[in-house]
Amino acid sequence: MLSKVLIANRGEIAIRIMRACKELGIPTVAVYSDADKSALFTRYADEKVHIGPAPAAQSYLVKDKIIQAALDTGADGIHPGYGFMAEDFEFATMCAKNNIEFIGPPVPSMELMCSKIDSKKSMIKAGVSVVAGVTEAISDHEKALNIAHEIGFPLMLKASAGGGGIGIVRVDRAEDIEEELAKVRRLAKSSFGDDSVFIEKYIHEPHHVEFQVIGDKHGNLIHVLDRECSVQRRNQKLIEETPSQAISEEIREEMGKQAVLAAKTAGYWNAGTCEFMYKDGQFYFLEMNTRLQVEHPITEMITGVDLAREQLRVASGLELEYEQSDIVCKGHAIECRINAEDPANGFMPSPGKIVRYAEPSGPGVRVDSGVYQGLDFPPYYDSMAAKLIVWAEDRPRAIERMKRALWEYQIGGMKTNIPFHEVVMNDPVFKAGIYNTSYIENNDIMAKVTKYMEEKRAQGGNKKTAAAMAAVQTVIAASQG
């Protein structure tokens, strides 16, 4: 087993990994910037190391500082969480050169799957179903135009090294190819240091379904079922649930097999996610995220598999504790990402001091959080403050439980997207489970959110919130003794 693990991340995911380490008896090291000197994750760790100013480019993204912190504290493992350097194969290589275990997949697997072009070529060769398009980088707009006429409009221009919904553009007309290709290449270069762009056929209003996979260094590799991630804005996920309501058991079984095939083709171990688009009985491999996903808790809730624990065990050279036949779906789980954003203002980031804070609790409720009352939520990083996860015996009860938990969740002092989640949980289309990736636009969800927030203000929302806060805090205090 690893003797000490440094978490090269911050916020709720750092705490999540530290909890798994503590249960395995592994001491932990936090690294933190100036902005995070009072953060909750720094208090949870056994040791902490300051790594620089608030901007991530001067702290969390400085590879040498992270490696040196591990060496100085005697950490023999580094867990990257997600974001920052989680899919940076150069950083994983640096870890290996310093005899530090990178808690993730092997470098060749990362390098292959972090290139959408190379991974698509590999998947085609292995027989995995992919979206129609080309498997070469396109830099010339005339060539792009010829390809566009072959596969037809609309189409997608996609950054090969992209992630997080960045570097993906839909093009509907031939006359827009030149300008959009130049834009995507510039964005890809500035965001990922790689201006490689390729073309795929656009699939109208699909479902975004992903499969969790995990493997060990002994050749064992399984999938841990699926997640529906179609509630998105600007290609970024807001709500996830499992199991997906869109796919049949036959499709689920076949997608799971292809996810395992994709991972095995890449020589993969540790945790990862194969993402697919699904529509009308057909599914297509999109990409593989070579890391733990934000939405991994819902998989843990329906299967009982502690994915962070398995990551640590695999990195320590142990075999998986599970076989494929052990993975059984029990009930239904939903996750809402609680972001410091103003849903009435285009989801603009809304950091600030948290003056009131009370988390929901009770049966089937889990909160993965990195915040507390009195914290100045920093503006320098991702806007996600917490993840609210619920489990119930079936989907209707899970939705009702999420509605109750959202009502209990009280955050004062900064705007959050909780009103958005409340609207979605009450929306007939979502409740019926018939939504797709165009759900927000097609169902006027943002207009409904604006109306909902105006109605709350008109009803004395602040007083109502304060009363709810007092009631929730009283109940929580009573439950704690």
| DSSP conformational letter for 56 | G
How do beta strands 207-215 and 282-289 pair?
Answer: unpaired
pLDDT tens for 401-456 read 999 999 999 999 999 999 999 999 999 999 999 999 999 999 999 999 999 999 98
* pLDDT given for residue 234 in this prediction: 83
**Exposed / middle / buried, residue 473 (Cβ in 10 Å: 0-12, 13-18, 19+):** middle
> Nearest-CA neighbor of 402 among 429, 377, 370, 427?
427
On whether the CB atoms of residues 411 and 354 are closer than 8 A, the answer is: yes
On whether the CB atoms of residues 65 and 85 are closer than 8 A, the answer is: no
> Tokens at residue 173, please?
């007309």
**Phi and psi of 386, rounded to 5°?**
-165, 170
Q: What share of the chain is helix, strand, coil (3-state, %, to 5)?
A: 40, 25, 35
* pLDDT given for residue 193 in this prediction: 87
* pLDDT given for residue 448 in this prediction: 95
* pLDDT given for residue 480 in this prediction: 43
pLDDT tens for 169-194 read 999 999 999 999 999 999 999 888 89
Q: How far is CA 322 from CA 299, 304, 314, 378, in A?
A: 14, 11, 12, 39
* pLDDT given for residue 470 in this prediction: 55
**Exposed / middle / buried, residue 460 (Cβ in 10 Å: 0-12, 13-18, 19+):** exposed
Q: Which domains occur in the chain, in start order?
A: 5-103 (3.40.50.20), 132-201 (3.30.1490.20), 207-472 (3.30.470.20)
* pLDDT given for residue 390 in this prediction: 98
**Phi and psi of 145, rounded to 5°?**
-65, -40
Which parts of the chain register pLDDT below 50? 463-464, 475-481
**Helix/strand/coil (H, E, C) string of 298-322?**
HHHHHHCCCHHHHHHHHHCCCCCCC
Looking at the annotation, which residues are catalytic?
291
